[in-house]
Amino acid sequence: MRDLSSVLCIVSSDEKYRAIDEIISSCSVFDELPDKERFREAVHRRERIQSTGIGHGVAIAHGKVPGIDHPIAALGFSRDGIIFDDRYPDPVKLIFVIASSPSHESDYLKAVASILSWVHDPDFRKMLVECADNETTERFLTMMRSQEFVPQNPE
């Protein structure tokens, strides 16, 4: 299983594109990509089309890159938060970045749905931002390290 620092970083930038770049360059999980620069450009391109801020202090930036067979995700924490767009006035503190293959859309959707199942829970978001050390956050961090995306409460 990966080290936590391979999928998690503290973001120092206060601008969304620089924060995304910081996550991509800091989290070694993205070293698996065949072309990290092409991925970075894809995430920026997607972000220019429509912001990936989803509200409640969360953004899920993503880009497609050929040559991978499973989604790759990392999480950046911004202590002060970053304004991603005008629709959601709350600063984004949890910035997920996901790489996926254009030919494995269902795996990408499963990863996003799984992450959303966790971050839609306000209590969990608070625990994650506060770096609470408990069973729930440990399950989430284990999921991130393993890159095997499962919902918070699997049925």
Distances (CA, A) of 119 to 47, 59, 136: 20, 10, 12
Rounded Cα distance between 127 and 120, Å, is: 12
Domain span including residue 62 = 4-146
Mean pLDDT calculated for residue range 85-109: 91
Q: In this structure, is residue 154 part of a structural domain?
A: no
pLDDT at 19: 97
Q: In this structure, is residue 139 part of a structural domain?
A: yes
Question: Which CATH number is 30's domain given?
Answer: 3.40.930.10
Q: In this structure, is residue 153 part of a structural domain?
A: no
- 16-26 and 36-49 are packed helices; what angle lies between their axes, rounded to 10 degrees? 150
pLDDT at 47: 93
Coil, helix or strand at residue 133? coil
State pLDDT tens for residues 49-60. 988 888 899 999
Q: In this structure, is residue 152 part of a structural domain?
A: no
Q: How many domains does the chain have?
A: 1
What global pTM score does this model have?
0.94
pLDDT at 85: 81
